[in-house]
Chains A and B, each alone.
Chain A
Amino acid sequence: MKHQPLLRVRDLRCAYGAREVVRGISFDLWPGEVLAVVGESGSGKSTLLNAVAARHTPSAGTVEFAVRPAAGAAASLQDIYAMTEAQRRVLARTDWGFVHQHAADGLRMNVSAGANVSERLMALGQRHYGRLREQAADWLQRVEIDPARMDDRPDTFSGGMRQRLQIARNLITAPRLVFMDEPTSGLDVSVQARLLDMLRMLTREMQLAAIVVTHDLAVARLLAQRMVVMQGGHAVEAGLTDQLLDDPQHPYTQLLVSSVLPP
């Protein structure tokens, strides 16, 4: 089990019309590993994330995921774009999570926080109101939201709370892989720090693998064990986060690292 990656991406290419924005990306993601994808805006990192998360069909290449095996069978990598749409959607709401940059994109703003958190459970067929609420309260606590706010709508929440709510909503089904698109941008610095602490704790606690797209090297440094630097649709450099940030080899990575203002 441990000898097989959770996700294998090979020569992934994405195009909008004739313009190719992701030009042949390959990587493996292992269970419990956090991978950061950094790069300037327009470098194709969000498109890459969407393609890997089955939200944007790539023009070429494969994305394989180690689907949770049926009892007794060995886990095997399956091409997610060869699956039926129904299978993909089940995967996306059980074993995967997707944290949007803007919480409003990932939440239902017109229903209560509790309903937001327990929606996935209801989609999986849980029909016991009392138990749904227990689990929702538990998860709100884990993301440091007062369970007394459970019946309030997320549009009464602050930006940081919304983001944490979005995370709870995704993690309630105990996924094995979470995609995050700029999870902390748009939040002020102190809120960012708390959210990052929480994410780091949760990923460690739940043995959660994650792909984090960010333009903030501090986020990558804090969360990720490995990172990929993208420029113009290519992965210009990839490796262990600390190594890459302390000793950048590619001129573009050097530029990125040197452009961070020392605190």
Chain B
Amino acid sequence: MRDPHIQFAYLDERTKRMIRRAILKAVAIPGYQVPFGSREMPLPYGWGTGGIQVTASIIGADDVLKVIDQGSDDTVNAVNIRRFFQRTTGVEVTTDTTAASIIQTRHRIPETPLHEGQILVYQVPVPEPMQHLEPLEVETRKLHALQEYGLMHVNLYEDLAHFGQIATTYDYPVLVNSRYIMAPSPIPKFDNPKMHMNPALQLFGAGREKRIYAVPPYTSVESLGFEDHPFSLQRWDQPCGICGSCESFLDEVITDDQGGRLFVCSDSDYCAKTQAAGAQDAPSP
């Protein structure tokens, strides 16, 4: 499988060491954005160059890799990144969440709970949660340093004032380890509670913005809110149309041009497993 003409995991060893140093620092200061020398990758920005660099610097020959995009193992982004690592490292790949040692993800956290020893790598487009309100990075870094986070609530206030509820549904800001405010990458806020006290190591890579940050295992991750409008999760009034799960995050799929629609799990691995378990339990006719 592995192309012998390409350096293992594409990046040269000095680059990997540089990225590992950034990762170590990020793990030591949960939620803090560590600058790193992001490299040009053979994929365009927006395809997860940050996540790929993080994965490339931590992957070893005996790792088992799973790559998901919006929860699914078989979308374009996931397939290409998986193929990239197969070709450059020759590691074993899987779609099974529990079997993977490294999971690179775009926009979702798997429904199946992660366990100790696993590493979840996020692809991050905008690492700075306050960027919309404070465009100067010099200033946002100062705000982080001095823990002046009033701005984040200005954002939520605006949502409430205009929509009557907190309308931010993805990339919902979190407070990590009671210290740093962090952008959890564009995962749905449905996934935010999964970050809290998660036994897996969570690494975030932003390639274009040249930042790495991390949430170490068993770290508190608290979603922001107001006392009278606390953080809340969205709910669906129907189960998954394929596996019947009521616990998972559902995508709306248009099935025909008559307005027919189907709500299905966005996590394809979870959906398939739930379906298989359901088929086993069901009494045979």
Contacts and interface: CB of A to CB of B under 8 A. Distances in A.
A108 B153 contact: no
B129 to A, nearest CB: 15
Interface string B142-169: 1000101111011001101110000000
Contacts of B149: 123
A53 B137 CA distance: 23
B237 interface: no
Interface in A77-91: 85-86, 89
A129 B227 CA distance: 7
A108 B139 CA distance: 15
A234 interface: no
Given A128-B227, A130-B228, A111 B146 contact: no
Interface secondary structure of A, over-half rule = helix
A151 B157 contact: no
A120 B160 CA distance: 18
Contacts of A3: none
Contact of A108 (B154, B160, B161, B228): B154
B154 A132 contact: no
B125 to A, nearest CB: 21
Interface residues of A, number: 22
Contacts of B150: 119-120, 122-124
Given A86-B146, A89-B146, A151-B162, A129 B154 contact: no
B161 A150 contact: yes
A88 B138 CA distance: 17
A150 to B, nearest CB: 7
B102 to A, nearest CB: 38
B153 to A, nearest CB: 4
A156 to B, nearest CB: 14
B226 interface: yes
A114 B228 CA distance: 17
B229 interface: yes
Nearest to A151: B161
B133 interface: yes
B228 A129 contact: yes
A118 interface: yes
Given A127-B226, A127-B227, A115 B154 contact: yes
A112 B162 contact: yes
Nearest to A125: B150
Contact of B133 (A108, A124, A127): A108
A119 B146 CA distance: 17
A199 B79 CA distance: 64
Contacts of B229: 129
B226 A112 contact: no
Interface string A106-150: 001011101100111011100111101000000000000000001
Contacts of B153: 122, 127
A130 B153 CA distance: 13
A78 B206 CA distance: 43
A111 B227 contact: no
A128 B226 contact: yes
Contacts of A129: 157, 160, 226-229
Contacts of B158: 111-112, 115
Contact of A132 (B146, B148, B151, B157): B157
B93 to A, nearest CB: 45
Contacts of A112: 157-158, 161-162
B227 A122 contact: no
**Nearest 10 A/B pairs, CB to CB:** A123-B150, A122-B153, A129-B226, A122-B150, A128-B227, A151-B161, A115-B157, A86-B146, A115-B154, A127-B227
Interface of B: 133, 142, 146, 148-151, 153-154, 157-158, 160-162, 225-229
19 contacts: A85-B142, A89-B148, A108-B154, A111-B158, A112-B158, A112-B162, A114-B161, A115-B157, A119-B154, A120-B150, A122-B153, A123-B150, A124-B150, A127-B153, A127-B226, A129-B228, A130-B228, A150-B161, A151-B162
Given A122-B153, A132-B157, 10 more contacts: A85-B142, A86-B146, A108-B154, A115-B157, A119-B154, A122-B154, A123-B151, A127-B227, A129-B157, A129-B226
